[in-house]
């Protein structure tokens, strides 16, 4: 008898589980529609990402061309480096001479 009641109880548990699973199951058309929508969204995001990558590469290329295209000539180097450096050294020398 104990076996029969255990078997009946287990059968009832299995039936409840199957009934719960039946309530949780998503219909195939709903699943396929959602999956197609998700795949479409992913494809759109991938396309946007590819466009952004291309735009960034072009912007980097333009920036690099602008930086290398500017260049510096010898006058800019003199005005930016040599003259201020010479004035700085002259200032130090004058301070050293004035201190004696």
Measuring CA to CA, how many Å separate 9 from each of 2, 20, 58, 98? 11, 17, 70, 108
pLDDT of residue 40: 94
pLDDT of residue 2: 53
User: Mean pLDDT, 10 residues at a time, over the chain (100 residues)?
Assistant: 74 85 77 91 93 93 77 72 89 84
pLDDT of residue 99: 67
Residue 76 and residue 34: Cα distance in Å, rounded?
A: 64
CA 6 to chain centre: 57
pLDDT of residue 42: 92
Nearest to 81 by CA among 69, 92, 89: 89
Q: Give the domain ranges of the chain.
A: 2-72
Residue 94, both tokens: 């004058």
């Amino acid at each position: 008898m104990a076996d029969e009641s255990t078997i009946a109880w287990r059968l009832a548990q299995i039936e409840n589980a199957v009934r719960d699973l039946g309530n949780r199951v998503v219909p195939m058309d709903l699943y396929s529609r959602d999956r197609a929508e998700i795949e479409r969204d992913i494809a759109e995001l991938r396309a946007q990402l590819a466009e952004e990558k291309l735009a960034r590469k072009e912007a980097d290329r333009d920036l690099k061309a602008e930086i290398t295209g500017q260049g510096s000539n010898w006058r800019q180097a003199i005005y930016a480096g040599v003259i201020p450096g010479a004035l700085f050294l002259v200032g130090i020398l004058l301070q050293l001479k004035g201190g004696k």
